[in-house]
Structure 1
């Protein structure tokens, strides 16, 4: 969509200034221009180009946290988010786009100033309706899309078609009315429509939707009527903000009554929403629940809601300008408070449902869903904790989201929500006791064991006084983690054993599995391999009985540690890679980090010192991003230190440093690919010539698929849960780009043929049936 001149100008400004702000009215295309410049500039920033979308962020206190999320920094320490951000960027050459700063203007200015002072090679590109006002800032007022000079001669049809505004109109019109094209019959009307809309992209897109029912000429007539009404008969050109407001007003009035209601009510969502949320929050008082789907479809057709694909789920997003308009309408209707309450209650319930489904086959889907809903969860938490009488609701919600905090970017934020809720709810209730032990685990992961111990002591006191067996079970579990972190192994084992006993008594599989994993690691640490293996196998049995995956992956990690210590490196490798494959699919960096640690130790034991050094180098970046090496598993540090010392001696300092640097240069995805498949970027195999895209376990399962075994038969053959086998097969199909087991069988046969003939497999690794 054109913008060549503006793109070149912004790039020039970025070459001389470290902060460039694009200003202009809503809908003029600031974000699009920023993203185009950012995309064009990727090669100039070796440490990445990042987009921080701030429109859905209303709380200034979470600004730095929001930017760390955008940069995919998963810091598990207790440091302030701003300090984490500064340390991460200090030596990096990167570009960050801060999009939609106007509602956080002063806070964005302070953040920009702090980052630019601390990170001399950082560049910032901001979009805002006004400049940030910080030192060294250059700004560009983003103009509307170009049109021919009205004072010049009439342009040719080809020249008109090259104008940015007309080009956008024609592109969008062709999407609405298949076959639409610019010709001599409609050219004047198209040009005048674009002029009436001042070349504002959002205005053009909203207007074009009307071509489903109107010709271009009819659209022009109605725009003239609309603007004449608003200017009391004056035909002078309207200021751009009035032009856009007029068009949004018109779009609103052309919606049906229920569509208007839905538009206004949907404005309470932060970020995006799905159909289920729309039905829960927006129905009632004029809209039946059954009508929501059709009304959503209507707003999508009118470009009020934007449809987004998320694998098997469709979500809807509203542009910030339209969301603000809808919020104004909602406030004017007197419904704002009640819809915010419905929004808050819906997401409070969603958090509770996620906690209830934590231990089971739907686990990963819930983790993924909560990540997509994070902006709405944050809004709901703010609503609960800011309203007297609802603070306990907020504290319960923050506690229910424990695994969301742990498995995503939000561990530090989770602890802040819990700290805030605990401060507002000092009464010694069962809820406070649960929130305390929940928060203690976050503190342990952050290596803040003193705070964890204090919270556990209070939680245990409440649990004892009220006779709360589940509370006493969890306080025992996390007390064991604190003791283990402090090197008090026997004390830790006693706590873990108490936790196992109490969780068996309460029938809580989540707590039982966690306690068994930790107890297995502790027994391994004191050289009790039979005890460690027995505890790990019991944990696997519990997980398999529930079709659970995440705790199972950690159990395999724990078993891998002990199997490696026994000297069975092949089985230990298989366990760790199976665990890593799941943790990668969940995008759990803590689990991934521990898996890579153990694989490095295994490589050193096997004498593959170069691989071990590369993995140790890759781990530096992972642990730096998380903020705490072996976070929550501090007692394993001795194995890391022994591994590094062994590899340094074997390779020598120069070779060790070179291999470690090679590993450190790997991206997160590349490091995981190397750990799982022993393949370096660019297709360079570290071992062998052309490795399979599958892990050893996946290759084994692919062979069984090729033999015609069912999922149940595969599970029985490998002594794994059927759901685990099904998960492996899903990964195989995904990696190979297949949709059927028959394709896997053909691919396996091709691999066998290639191996015998010494040839190469098809470049994309696929086959046809």
Structure 2
């Protein structure tokens, strides 16, 4: 493959791959072959039995070739996705593609990838095969620079696909390809067994005394990596001889009377059967019940969901420890918390056992109920100092929320609970940039059960709000009409408040500012009667924006200031970030350039922990307008170019009443630079991409008092700790930090702990605030001029 922008500029490669938590053993031949296939084909599918190592091989190859793809290497995991309807949404989410407009997600994805040099790893495609094949084919036909590396039990079956069956690991005496292997030391299966045995039995090695036993174990397991890893961990409680004896007994029983070799699938199933048989009855029950979780889960969730019917709540923690010791459950650290997950093959096995037990519906309903309560807790506590922690937690639980919602659509009579979840999480769907997925769930739930209820009234208003935020006005009126009818019938004041608010948003999009003013005033009154301060503040913020559009600046500034005061008194981050974005536009319109810059910078800082790339880009758009106004035309052009790629992908997200400012910025910039210099700047910005938008946005566009060099703080952190702190400030988890810096996750966790201790902090939010405050005190930092305020510190109050 040709040299890329990443190599030319020296910028770190984009994309997101997980860090390797255990060593990668062997597979040199397979790695080389996959690289060769990717070089000549645009879609490569690794096939093979579950547990053979398809995912691990794909990720290793992806990591090694990532610098060949200037726009990144990305992992999309389908294992926890039960419904094909969300396949494209899952891909967009993994690629950090967010759109607030009502467009088919596949169109958004196509536009995002059209001009990019990208490799996407699609993991576990087999249960979504037909839909996955259709999507991949569409993307490949539309994006010439796209390559796909997929893992599946079978091929996708599309034109141009290269398929590589992943063999089992080489065994003593002969390799899977039939070639002789000279020594045990060159056998991948033996090396993997040894590597994993060391983790439970330090000092373990293959010697002349135990060589035959190790080789026989690996042969019995047919060189299947998952089977070898499950067996190796047994050395914690068994000797090699005892381990071999039990494998002999098990397989002799399974193959009695048959001279044929063991099928590999049967071998894997047998190893899992054997691991299951080594568990106590209660561990077996927990294994089966834990299979209802998608992705990872907390101990608290396991205690609530999996207890009962033979397992007391207080027994769960010991049973979890037992399953971790047996390598059935995998524990993963997330800062100061630990979560657990099942490998997908192990999870599917557990799900089969759960169905056989007859407890599947009972456990899935408990799972749904737990996440309904979580959603309601999040709604109550969303506005306050723990907002970012709640956001991070909900992102971790996203797959489980999907599973809970799917259960609500599976059985009659369960839809109402799904509507409660969706209504409670309305702020999360907006903050996460997942309006389209939120609408899909609401559309399906509302269509599945049309029984008139109070819950339905509120859900219809929320769905109308989502549609209005996407500027998709056709479905808004009928949804609000039905919601209003139900609200009148049941006397639901909460629904009236949401109806008025959604009506105001729709009026804003239509530029019906008088109608918007009346609706937001009504919404504010309803929320005030409900003592819902945050609902009232949202309404007042949009009322202020409406006044701004009407040219009533004094009213707008007064209301904006009131809303800022409320947010600061509550330590509210998300609403304040959105508020400062529109408040900054009003300040700029009044000629307060320095104040406007300060507000847009503060908004960007608050949006970063939410990874709100679209919201950050909107702030950067305003800063481009300001750059053009103060004569920094080349920087304005580069900003417009960097943003153009995003707008082309997701559609212009500006409300109609703001588009004129964008057009004016383009016109003035082109006029002053001339066509040649203007398009040169646009092209430069386009090549830089979104990651450089922040660098361009932080640079000041007007003289503001600069802090003296003497005032700059010397950082108490090491250079590596500063790297970690900056990634934490961007909203990355420890796992993502580890992947970005190519270090072990536990190393990333240790760095974060050291940072917290050195700075005397207790949360990642404080680290984010410190990073940006620290950068503002350094004269050589991007955006160093101008003061920024950490969450909760008084600042930007009304004039």
Q: How far apart are 1:511 and its partner, in Å?
A: 1.6
Shift of 1:207: 0.4
The 1:122–1:221 alpha-carbon spacing in structure 2 relative to 1, beyond 3 Å, is: same
Query: Relative to structure 1, is the Cα distance of residues 687 and 469 closer, same or farther in structure 2, using a 3 angstrom cutoff?
Result: closer
**2:676 alignment partner, one of 654, 660, 679:** 654
Contact persistence 1:54–1:101 (CA under 8 A): yes
Shift of 1:522: 2.0
Q: Which secondary structure does the structure 1 equivalent of 2:688 belong to?
A: coil
Counterpart position of 2:758: 740
Q: Which residue of 2 aligns with 1:63?
A: 87
Alignment partner for residue 111 of structure 1, among 135, 140, 143?
A: 135
Shift of 1:754: 10
Find out whether 1:645 has 2:663 as its counterpart. no
8 A contact 1:359–1:509 mirrored in 2: no
Separation (CA, whole Å) in 2 of partners of 1:232 and 1:28:
25
Q: 1:271 aligns with which of 291, 295, 318?
A: 295
Question: Does the alignment pair 1:504 with 2:524?
Answer: no
1:105-184 residue pairs with structure 2 within 5 A?
105-149=129-173, 159-184=183-208
- Give yes or no for contact 1:463–1:471 (8 Å, CA) kept in 2: yes
Q: Which residue does 2:229 correspond to in 1?
A: 205
Q: Who is 1:282 aligned against?
A: 306
1:41 aligns to what SS in structure 2? helix
Counterparts of 1:701 and 1:24 in 2: how far apart (Å)? 61
Listed as ranges, the gaps of 5+ residues in structure 1 are 679-685, 689-694, 707-732, 757-769
- Cα offset for 1:653? 2.2
1:100 and 1:204 mapped to 2: Cα distance?
A: 21
Give the length in aligned residue pairs. 712
Q: Show the counterpart of 2:70.
A: 46
2:343 aligned partner = 319
Shift of 1:753: 13
Q: 1:220 to 1:316 in 2, by over 3 A?
A: same
Which residue of structure 2 aligns with residue 605 of structure 1? 629
Deviates more, 1:470-479 or 1:230-239: 230-239
Shift of 1:114: 2.5
* Contact 1:72/1:409 (8 A) holds in 2: no
Answering whether residue 483 of structure 2 is matched by residue 483 of structure 1, we say no
1:272 deviates by 1.7
Change over 3 Å in CA distance of 1:299–1:557 after alignment to 2: same
Contact 2:174–2:181 (Cα < 8 Å) also in 1: no
Equivalent residue for 1:549, pick from 559, 573, 576: 573
1:389-433 CA deviation, whole Å, 9 max, x = no partner? 111222222222212221225321110111122223434432222
**Bigger Cα displacement from structure 2, 427-436 vs 619-628:** 619-628
Match of 1:584 in 2: 608
User: 1: CA distance between counterparts of 2:381 and 2:515?
Assistant: 32
Query: Where does 1:723-734 land on structure 2 (aligned, <5 Å)?
Result: none
Partner of 2:384: 360
Selected match of 1:436 from 439, 450, 460? 460
Q: Distance in 1 between matches of 2:429 and 2:27?
A: 41
Taking the aligned partners of 1:509 and 1:575, their CA distance within structure 2 comes to 23
Match of 2:423 among 399, 405, 413: 399
Question: Which aligned pairs between 1:343-742 and structure 2 lie closer than 5 A?
Answer: 343-630=367-654, 633-676=655-698, 739-741=757-759
CA distance in 1, matches of 2:597, 2:356: 63
Deviation per CA, 1:3-40: give whole Å up to 9, x if none: 11112222222233322221111111111111122222
Contact 1:559/1:575, CA 8 A, preserved across alignment? yes
SS at 1:643's partner residue?
helix
Structure 1 pair 71–394 and aligned structure 2 pair: CA distance change class (3 A): same
Out of 69, 91, 115, the position equivalent to 1:91 is 115
**Structure 1 residue 190: Cα displacement:** 1.6
2 CA distance for matches of 1:671 and 1:44? Answer: 22
Query: Partners of 1:319 and 1:133 in 2: how far apart?
Result: 26
SS at match of 1:449: coil
Q: Distance in 1 between matches of 2:142 and 2:687?
A: 23
Question: Alpha carbons of 1:69 and 1:696: their partners in 2 closer, same or farther (altered >3 Å)?
Answer: farther
CA distance in 1, matches of 2:364, 2:381: 26
Unaligned runs of 5+ in 2: 1-24, 717-750, 762-766, 781-799
How many angstroms does 1:550 deviate by?
Answer: 1.1
CA-CA distance at 1:644 after TM superposition: 2.1
Distance 1:139 1:268, change over 3 A: same
Question: SS of 2:338's equivalent?
Answer: strand
Task: Note the C-alpha offset of 1:264.
Answer: 0.7
Q: Give CA deviations for 1:624-659 in whole Å, capped at 9, x if unaligned.
A: 4443422xx332222222222222222222222222
1:538 Cα deviation after fit: 1.1
Change beyond 3 A, Cα 1:754–1:52: closer
- For the structure 1 residues 300 and 676, does the alpha-carbon distance in structure 2 shift closer, same or farther, using more than 3 Å as the test? farther
Aligned-residue offset at 1:704: 13
CA positional deviation for 1:267: 0.7
Distance in structure 1 (CA, Å) of the matches to 2:612 and 2:776:
34
Residue 222 in 1 paired to residue 256 in 2?
no
Local SS of the residue matching 1:149: coil
Contact 1:75 1:628 in 2 (8 A): no
Partner of 2:210: 186
Paired residues of 1:49 and 1:95 also in contact (CA < 8 A) = yes
C-alpha separation in 1, matches of 2:461 and 2:577: 23
Q: What SS does structure 1 have at the residue aligned with 2:100?
A: coil
CA separation in 1, counterparts of 2:155 and 2:352?
Answer: 25
Specify the SS of the correspondent of 2:663. Answer: helix
Whole-angstrom CA distance in 2 between matches of 1:705 and 1:516 = 40
3-state SS of paired residue (1:582): helix
Secondary structure of the residue that 2:693 maps to in structure 1?
A: helix
Change (3 A) 1:603 1:153: closer
Shift of 1:251: 0.7
Q: Counterparts of 1:188 and 1:570 in 2: how far apart (Å)?
A: 76
Distance 1:377 1:738 in 2: 31
Question: How far 1:61 sits from its partner (Å)?
Answer: 2.1
Q: Is the 8 A contact 1:265 1:282 kept in 2?
A: yes
- 8 Å CA contact 1:407, 1:587 repeated in 2: no
Task: Give me the TM-score of the superposition, normalised by structure 2.
Answer: 0.83
Paired with 1:458 and 1:753, the residues of 2 have a C-alpha distance of 54
State TM-score, norm by structure 1.
0.86
1:266 Cα offset (Å): 0.5
Alpha-carbon distance in structure 2 between the residues aligned to 1:698 and 1:397: 51
Change (3 A) 1:700 1:211: farther
1:64-116 deviation per Cα after TM superposition (whole angstroms, max 9, x unaligned): 22222222211222222223323333333322222112222222222233323
**Root-mean-square deviation (CA), in Å?**
3.3
The verdict on how the C-alpha distance between 1:586 and 1:625 changes in structure 2, with shifts beyond 3 A counting, is: farther
Q: Tell me, in whole angstroms, the C-alpha distance in 2 between the residues paired with 1:436 and 1:753.
A: 48
Cα distance in 1 for residues equivalent to 2:239 and 2:292? 35
Structure 1 residues 485 and 697, CA, compared in 2 at 3 Å: closer, same or farther? farther
- 1:638 counterpart SS class: helix
**Higher relative contact order (Cα pairs below 8 Å, separated by 6+ residues):** 2
Quick check: 1:298 aligned with 2:316?
A: no
Shift of residue 328, structure 1, vs aligned partner: 1.2
Residues of 1 paired with 2:552 and 2:377: CA distance?
Answer: 39
